[in-house]
Copies of this chain bind each other. A is one copy, B any other.
Amino acid sequence: MEQRTRRGRTPRAEILDAAGELFTTNGYATTSTRAVADAVGIRQASLYHHFAAKDDILDALLAETIATPLELAASMRDLAEPPATCLYTLAWFDVRQLCAAQWNLGALYLLPEVRSERFAVFRLRRDELRGHYEAFAGQVIAEAGVAGIPGAEALPFRLVETVISIRSDEGAAPEYAERTIPDATLRMLGWTGDLDEAREAAGRLLDRLDARLPLG
Contacts and interface: CB of A to CB of B under 8 A. Distances in A.
Contact of A29 (B29, B152, B174, B183): B29
A27 B159 contact: no
Interface stretch (A37-45, A47-55, A108-116): A108-116
Interface string A172-200: 00101101110110011010000100000
A195 to B, nearest CB: 7
Given A107-B110, A158-B165, A152 B27 contact: no
Interface in A112-148: 112-113, 115, 123
Interface in A78-95: none
Contacts of A151: 176-177, 179-180
A149 interface: yes
A154 interface: yes
A155 B162 contact: yes
A131 to B, nearest CB: 12
Count of chain copies: 2
Contact of A165 (B27, B110, B150, B195): B110
Given A110-B168, A150-B176, A154-B166, 9 more contacts: A24-B112, A109-B168, A123-B169, A149-B183, A149-B195, A150-B179, A154-B180, A155-B180, A184-B188
Interface of A: 24-27, 29-30, 107, 109-113, 115, 123, 149-152, 154-155, 158-159, 161-162, 164-166, 168-169, 171, 174, 176-177, 179-181, 183-184, 187-188, 190, 195
Task: List the 6 shortest-distance A-B pairs measured between CB atoms, nearest first.
Answer: A151-B176, A158-B162, A151-B180, A188-B188, A29-B29, A149-B183
B159 A159 contact: yes
A148 to B, nearest CB: 9
A154 to B, nearest CB: 7
Given A154-B180, A159-B155, A187 B110 contact: no
A168, A169, A190: residue with the most chain B Cβ atoms closer than 10 Å: A169
